[in-house]
Amino acid sequence: MTVESGERAERSAFERGERAKAASATGSSALTRSRVRLDVPRPSRRRLLPEYDPEAFGRLSERVARFLGTGRFIVWMTVVIIAWVLWNIFAPGHLRFDEYPFIFLTLMLSLQASYAAPLILLAQNRQDDRDRVNLEQDRKQNERSIADTEYLTREIAALRMGLGEVATRDWIRSEFQDLIKEMDERRLFPQERDEGDR
């Protein structure tokens, strides 16, 4: 054994001892608690449930919920139930698959309802999420519009204050009209004076 390997062994024994002290101080053992390295990706775990695309499943649930809310679904469901009941009443005995209490029909309707309800709820949740996003965008747009309106109002008020002493078109027009009247009066009065002199 070389000096280097002896130092390494001493160092590793020292580190193990320090780890054991730290583990006993925190109440856990070094064997049960391993250090997690953040620079190494976790190994992929096997999942028991199948993986699926939530977005595609959501779109499918919306389509199903949309179909369940139509008159076409009600008509087809009514036709299927009537055909089921008539077949199991009037068909020959060996061809009947669901006798009078129609237990299998009840089971099928319960199964359909147990799948329809969560699909409808999922579609409603997705619609709520879309509505929430649209509401937030509308709120931000309204805030921008209000800010723009307030800015324009302040600008118009500043322009009015700045134009308070500036001659406007109406003021100039009224001044011209007054001047024209005054000139007409001057023309009329000299003619009257001329007639009075004669």
What pLDDT was estimated at residue 117?
92
- Measured at the CA of 110, the angle between CA 107 and CA 111, to 5 degrees, comes to 85
pLDDT per residue, tens digit, the chain (198 aa), is 455 666 666 666 666 666 666 555 555 554 555 677 888 888 877 888 888 888 888 899 899 999 988 999 999 999 999 999 999 999 998 999 998 889 999 999 999 999 999 999 999 999 999 999 999 999 999 999 999 999 999 999 888 887 776 667 888 889 889 999 988 888 877 655 555 555
Position 30 scores a pLDDT of: 47
Give residue 49's pLDDT: 82
Token pair of 196 as six digits: 């009075």
Distances (CA, A) of 86 to 11, 90, 98, 102, 154: 87, 6, 11, 11, 77
In angstroms, what CA-CA distances link 116 with 61, 77, 78, 81, 122? 9, 13, 16, 17, 10
One-letter amino acid of 104: F
Q: Are 123 and 63 in contact (CB under 8 A)?
A: no
